[in-house]
Structure 1
Amino acid sequence: MNAIADRYRRHADAFELRIAAVRPEQWADQSPCAAWNARDVVDHIVTMHQVMLRPVDRGPSPAPSVKVDPLGAFRAARADVEAVLDDPALAGADCDTPTGPMSVERHIDLVVSDDLVLHGWDLARATGQDETIPADDVARLWASTTAIPAELMQKYRTPGAFGPGIEVFGPEVKVPEGASLQDRLLGFIGRDPSH
């Protein structure tokens, strides 16, 4: 296995555990993303997994809907992405992305692996779970997000810039002086860690 596949699996494991810990009555609870409840967070993650299949001309495998079985839907989406990562020809294929050409596995790493971490926090916050993001992930994501050029960051913060209904980051939320790196990261991508 390579580092990208390993990172994906680690993040998927953590997200799956968070889904499994959600009590049935919590699925309608509000998430930190204003337009989403807890179930919507999982639906977004499943949808983004399906988007990662398009560059290799694959569609999602038969699976339950997120409305009926969020855990089953995620597990099926995860299996589809893992099958791509485990096939060197598919993982190494070139694809076009909004930020330029890259390999399919790199695209998965930048989009889905990072989404699992950040939206894992959303799901944890919505459902009262431990919100701690592993320190190495916080440091890696802080370095990568703060390195995004200002012009591209403006696009990331513009709703609909990458398609209808797509908002990558919200407006930056100021956090107190001396805040933890996790809180600074969350504020930078538009989350309010104090609420």
Structure 2
Amino acid sequence: MAVTSEIADRYRRRADAFERKLVSVRPDQWSHPSPCARWTARDVVRHIVDMHGVMLRPLGRSLSPAPTVDDNPVAAFRAARADVEAILGDPALAALPCDTPTGPMTAEQHIDQVVSDDLPLHGWDLARATSQDDTMDAADVERAWAAMNALPAELMDKFRTPGAFGPGIEVFGPQVPVGGDASQQDKLLAFIGRDPRWRP
């Protein structure tokens, strides 16, 4: 299988899982607090949609006109994912070089390492905020755990420093202590600064 197809398939699977959670949110739950400090359930979706726009920026593109997250979170996400899938579905666009905060890479690699990797983690945030099943795909947990542990210490410190990648941007919070018998998912969440015990 071509690399482009693997990345596109992984993104599509994760976006489908995120969208399933989106459509299951009740209208009264959008204002519920999330595990991300200062963010509601709606804010989690806003962040994901905004990050889709960030993926388009190095290519001179922007999100297509669509309902806002305030007006229709589901429609906003569907439009944003369509924009990203258009890049992943076009080998020429997918291979275009991008300058990113972690170095040069192709557009598809940028999508894979940023917004695609974000979807399972923020899917957990959304599920936990709205009392849905928050079980992450085991393959995504293993992949993320391996990636986190491969990061150089100085880059991890930067990820944990608020504002290091721009005003208001906080990638990871301080690591949360968990017991040695914690599940792999809980260890991953704790590593990036989430409290696996958090409840709304």
Q: TM-score, normalised by structure 1?
A: 0.99
1:70-149 residue pairs with structure 2 within 5 A?
70-149=73-152
Whole-Å separation in 2 of the counterparts to 1:13 and 1:153 = 29
Extract structure 1 runs of 4+ deviating beyond 6 A: none
Question: Displacement of 1:124 after TM fit?
Answer: 0.3
Whole-Å separation in 1 of the counterparts to 2:185 and 2:49 = 25
Aligned match of 2:27: 24
Aligned match of 1:9: 12
| Structure 1 position 151 matched with structure 2 position 151 | no
| Structure 1 position 34 matched with structure 2 position 42 | no
Question: Displacement of 1:147 after TM fit?
Answer: 1.0
Whole-Å separation in 2 of the counterparts to 1:59 and 1:46 = 11
Question: Displacement of 1:73 after TM fit?
Answer: 0.2
Q: Which amino acid aligns with 1:135?
A: A
Please, what is the CA RMSD of the aligned residues? 0.7
Question: Displacement of 1:176 after TM fit?
Answer: 1.1
- Percent identical among aligned pairs is 69
Q: 2:167 aligns with which of 164, 167, 170?
A: 164
- SS of the aligned residue for 1:66 comes to coil
| Structure 1 position 43 matched with structure 2 position 43 | no
Whole-Å separation in 1 of the counterparts to 2:61 and 2:8 = 18
Q: Which amino acid aligns with 1:100?
A: G
Q: Tell me, which stretches of 5 or more residues in structure 1 are unaligned? A: none
